[in-house]
Structure 1
Amino acid sequence: MDTKIFRSMSYGVYAVTTMDGERPTGCIANSVMQITSSPATVAVSMNHDNYTNSCMEKCGVFAVSVLSENSDPGIIGTLGFSSGKDRDKFTEIGYEMAEGVPVVKDSCGYVVCRIINKMETSTHTVFLGEVIGTGTYAGAAPAMTYAYYHQVIKGKSPKNAPTYLQEEPETAKDGEKKLNRYVCQVCGYVYEGEELPEDYVCPVCGVGAEKFKKEE
């Protein structure tokens, strides 16, 4: 089965946020879609292993912030590649509160939803939310698509994401010099070059060169 066909489907890159008691929390998702227009209803797919899943269930309200092509990639690194169970992610992210939940300010805007139903699969919960609030931020770049994230930012999907695919190393074409590949052990970003600079910083999750491992 050639799973690469799933990359031809349309996905965005979103920050899904809610409350962990009195503390903001959230993660990155790309399986978000509008189901109906009146009343406006949104569906979000969330892995059972994501801490955000149980927090959404308890809170009953969540927000979806639409990341833009100019959104700081560190937002994806912070929300997508660490658990809110272990750290307060929002000490590093600019946010404001809307309808009682956090929304990311470095984005195109947001929708806030009240959970009205859910569907369980073997690995994910699909939450249905009725929209109770929206907002936009002026001057934002176009919304980031998963294709842009994958092709331009060179980012990877977290293993809990519905669109996660196991990457196959690329081989050099005839006559081309094979470059070394250094893989970020936090987010999976791949740097290709002869040597990894000592002061290199991962453009997705912000860790230093010491967190990169040379692919053998």
Structure 2
Amino acid sequence: MNPNVFRNLSYGVYVVSSLDGDRNTGCIANSIMQITSSPATIALSMNHDNYTNSCISRTGKFAISILSETSDPGLIGCFGFRTGRDVNKFDDIDYTVKEGLPIVKDSCGYIVCRLIDKMEASTHTVFLGEVIDGDVIGSDPAMTYSYYHKVVKGKSPKNAPTYLPQEDEPASDSGAKWVCSICGYVYDGDIPFEELPDTYACPICHQGKDKFLKTGDS
């Protein structure tokens, strides 16, 4: 089987939020789909290791912020490459509250769901949520996972359903590349990487210049 065929399926990029007691928490997800129209029902796949998974199970509700092509890529680093067990991911995020759950303002829409059922797979939980609120924010197109890989130049977190192990392999094409060891962002700016200031930070996960590794031929 060639796992790359799954990349031909359509995915978005979303911040899924819930509550850890009174504290906001959330993570990046890409496997979300509407499965019925009346009542509107959403299916969400989330890895067992994601802290947000247990929070959804405890609170019985979750919200989806739909990222757009103009959303700050740092949102993906914040929610996709850190764990809510250790940090409050919403500390520096501009958000509003709908139906008691945090919604990222830098998005093109949101959906709030009440958990009605769930199914356990070997590594993931599939949550079913009945939609209780939702709206469009602005007019920017939604970010697809293809756009994230090809334009934003990020990689899938290892907990994502679409993660492929070869994403962590060094680039095989000619020419040296500087790659963020945290989120996989490939620097392709006009200024040689060595000449960037020491204050340079990855645009996705905001890690420092020292977290970049040189791959490929020199």
TM-score between both structures, scaled by the size of structure 2: 0.91
2:121 match: 121
Q: 152-161 vs 187-196, which deviates more?
A: 187-196
1:20 match: 20
Mapped to 2, the partners of 1:57 and 1:186 lie a distance apart of: 28
- Whether contact under 8 Å (2:187, 2:193) holds in the other structure is no
Query: How many angstroms does 1:170 deviate by?
Result: 3.7
2:157 match: 158
* Amino acid in structure 2 at the alignment position of 1:188: G
Percent of aligned positions with the same letter in both sequences?
62
Mapped to 1, the partners of 2:130 and 2:92 lie a distance apart of: 29
1:81 match: 81
- Whether contact under 8 Å (2:171, 2:215) holds in the other structure is no
User: Pairwise mapping of residues 50-61 of structure 1 onto structure 2 (< 5 A)?
Assistant: 50-61=50-61
- Whether contact under 8 Å (1:179, 1:192) holds in the other structure is no
**Structure 2: unaligned runs, 5 residues or longer:** none
- Whether contact under 8 Å (1:69, 1:144) holds in the other structure is yes
Query: How many angstroms does 1:208 deviate by?
Result: 1.6
1:133 match: 133
Q: 182-191 vs 148-157, which deviates more?
A: 182-191
Describe the SS at the equivalent of 2:128. strand
- Whether contact under 8 Å (1:41, 1:129) holds in the other structure is yes
TM-score between both structures, scaled by the size of structure 1: 0.92
User: Pairwise mapping of residues 25-104 of structure 1 onto structure 2 (< 5 A)?
Assistant: 25-104=25-104
- Whether contact under 8 Å (1:180, 1:192) holds in the other structure is no
Mapped to 2, the partners of 1:89 and 1:10 lie a distance apart of: 27
- Whether contact under 8 Å (2:109, 2:134) holds in the other structure is yes
* Amino acid in structure 1 at the alignment position of 2:172: T
- RMSD between aligned residues: 1.5
Describe the SS at the equivalent of 1:152. helix
- 1:214 and 2:214 are equivalent in the alignment: yes
Query: How many angstroms does 1:148 deviate by?
Result: 0.3
Query: How many angstroms does 1:192 deviate by?
Result: 5.2
- 1:186 and 2:159 are equivalent in the alignment: no
Mapped to 1, the partners of 2:215 and 2:175 lie a distance apart of: 11
